[in-house]
Amino acid sequence: MEIIQSAIDKLANSMRIYVETTINFNHLKNVDLEEAINNLDRAFEAKLEAFHSLYDVTKDKFKYFDNADTALLIMLRNAIHHRNHLLFRSWNYEMLLSDGLKKNSGAEFLMASHDVVNASHVMKYFYKLDDIFARVDPEINSPYLEDRMNKKSRDKLIYQLKKTLNLELVSEHAKNNRYPSKQIYLNIMPIFISSVCKVFKALKSEGIEFKGYDSKVYEEPFTNELTVDLAKFSYTPIRIH
């Protein structure tokens, strides 16, 4: 139990650090834009690593791959951990550090985000939607396809992404509004919130006590307060001038 408690606290600690890094972002970007973006990206990736650490010690207590949100987070962590591809570069990195504003001048992007119920503010961290399917769907013919996943697991994950996370709704909305697929970005934060809520609730129901300051801070909102509607999306268009 102590090992699990330590993993919970590591995840909660990484979540706090990400919030603090986000708060500091607006100031730091005026001083050193590259450092600000890299700090935020590494803080988000640290959350994925901490989530994976919790998975490692609790996979006998929660079926991570039976849930679309938790399965996606593990896929993202593994992809970013190995980095044998050019996928999953954040919106900030693509637009501000890779000449994205110049390359896409005049283009309009669609930013999609699952609805977090009764939340006054939801943090945002965007990856390109195309990158998710390029990593798992062989029909995309991507050179960056995950090659260690068996067909059964791959087919299951693709179904979960399209039907449970309802990402096909985002694709349909984009197509109906004439957005090229390369101009669709997905907010990963609601998916992260949904995943942590499910895992924390499951562990709490197993009698796991949340210990440590950060664990205690995040216990209540992620077991009793936050809810993500994986069937509903909010869309925000962003035009590059």
pLDDT above 90: residue 121: no
Pick from 67, 62, 49, 61: nearest CA to 10? 49
* pLDDT for res 120: 78
pLDDT at 236: 98
Work out the average pLDDT over 216-220: 97
Give domain limits for the chain.
66-239
Residues 6+ apart with CB under 8 A from 18: 40, 43, 44, 46, 47
pLDDT recorded at residue 206: 95
Spatial neighbors of 99 by CB under 8 A, at least 6 apart, are none
Indicate whether 52 pLDDT > 90. yes
pLDDT of residue 61: 97
Residue 201: the pLDDT is: 98
Segment 81-114, tens digit of pLDDT: 999 999 999 999 999 999 999 999 999 999 999 9
Q: pTM for this one?
A: 0.96
Percent of the chain with pLDDT over 90: 96
Q: Which residues have CB under 8 Å from 131's CB, separation 6+? A: 87, 88
Q: What are the tens digits of pLDDT across the range 123-141?
A: 999 999 999 999 999 999 9
Separation between Cα atoms, residue 15 and residue 10, nearest integer Å? 9
Residue 163 phi/psi, 5-degree rounding, is: -100, -30
* Structure tokens that stand for 33 in this block: 């834009």
Q: What is the mean pLDDT of the chain?
A: 97
